[in-house]
Amino acid sequence: MVTEKKNNSSSRRAFETEALPHIDALHRTALRMTKNANDADDLVQEAYIKAYRNWNKFEPGTNCRAWLFRIMTNIFINEYRSKSRSPVAVNVDEIDDSFLYGQLTAGKHTDNPEEELFARILDDDVKKAIDELPTDFRVVIVLSFIEGFSYQEIADIMDLQLGTVKSRLHRGRKLLQMALYEYAVNNGYVKDTMK
């Protein structure tokens, strides 16, 4: 009995040390996923409860943050799937893949134009544009651009094929470019070449 209490106590301390530091990142992403503070709180709470119950399945030394995001994303996707049976159809084929990013980085060398864009204009309008993306695209955009996960980590978190993650990021970028073009023109980030 004493050994069992000791194991529970050390397990709890390990959970607190490894998992709790990521609560703000999970909450930030949950807000982007749910678009509602109360739902985000519930989602994070449910994720932490599930993580704590399954802490014995976590492999020490692996990426705890990614493990927690996977739990939370799976809960969200399962809830989303139960509420909505069919995905939103989006046609983004007419948009040039890098038009807005090219305008922002004209004359500059950058390895990551998306980071450049979000570093320069991440405010309420951009957050609103992200929030308005269809869920499948919004989740990968948030995990990539805001949380900084690699494509492979996103694939692992969302239990998707790597190609599906790349496709959703590609289409999500196009949707963001459409949504942010007028914003970028109005704020002087790019010149309106559509006129």
CATH number for the domain including 144?
1.10.10.10
Between CA 79 and CA 70 the distance in angstroms is: 14
Q: Is residue 68 part of a domain?
A: yes
Q: Is residue 75 part of a domain?
A: yes
In degrees and rounded to multiples of 5, residue 106 shows phi and psi of: -55, 130
Point out the domain boundary residue: 57, 83, 109.
83
Residue 143 burial (CB count, 10 A): 25
Same domain, 11 and 65: yes
Residue 113 burial (CB count, 10 A): 17
pLDDT over threshold 70, residue 37: yes
Q: Is residue 66 part of a domain?
A: yes
Same domain, 72 and 106: no
Point out the domain boundary residue: 52, 83, 114.
83
Q: Is residue 88 part of a domain?
A: no
Q: Is residue 142 part of a domain?
A: yes
Residue scoring higher pLDDT (185 or 174) = 174
Least confident of 75-84, 88-97, 104-113, 149-158: 88-97
What is the identity of the amino acid at 10? S
Same domain, 28 and 56: yes
Closest CA relative to residue 181, chosen from 171, 192, 170 = 192
What is the identity of the amino acid at 27? H
| pLDDT 10s digits, 48-96 | 999 999 999 999 889 999 999 999 999 998 886 666 544 444 444 544 4
Residue scoring higher pLDDT (146 or 152) = 152
Whether the Cβ atoms of residue 72 and residue 93 lie closer than 8 Å to each other: no
Same domain, 124 and 62: no
Point out the domain boundary residue: 22, 56, 83.
83
Same domain, 104 and 179: yes
Same domain, 125 and 169: yes
pLDDT at residue 90 in the model:
45
The domain spanning residue 22 has which CATH number?
1.10.1740.10
Q: Is residue 191 part of a domain?
A: no
Number of structural domains the chain divides into: 2
pLDDT over threshold 50, residue 183: yes
Same domain, 115 and 181: yes
pLDDT at residue 53 in the model:
94
State what percent of residues in the chain have pLDDT above 90.
45
Between CA 10 and CA 29 the distance in angstroms is: 29
Same domain, 114 and 57: no
Residue scoring higher pLDDT (166 or 86) = 166
Least confident of 21-35, 37-51, 82-96: 82-96
Residue-by-residue DSSP string for 61-119: TS-HHHHHHHHHHHHHHHHHHHH-SSPPP---TTS-TTHHHHHHTTT---S-HHHHHHH
Mean per-residue pLDDT of the chain: 79
Highest average pLDDT, of 12-26, 91-105, 127-141, comes from 12-26
State the residue range of the domain holding 113.
99-186
Task: For Cα atoms 189, 110, 165, give the angle at the middle one, nearest 5 degrees.
Answer: 95
pLDDT over threshold 90, residue 152: yes
Same domain, 79 and 103: no
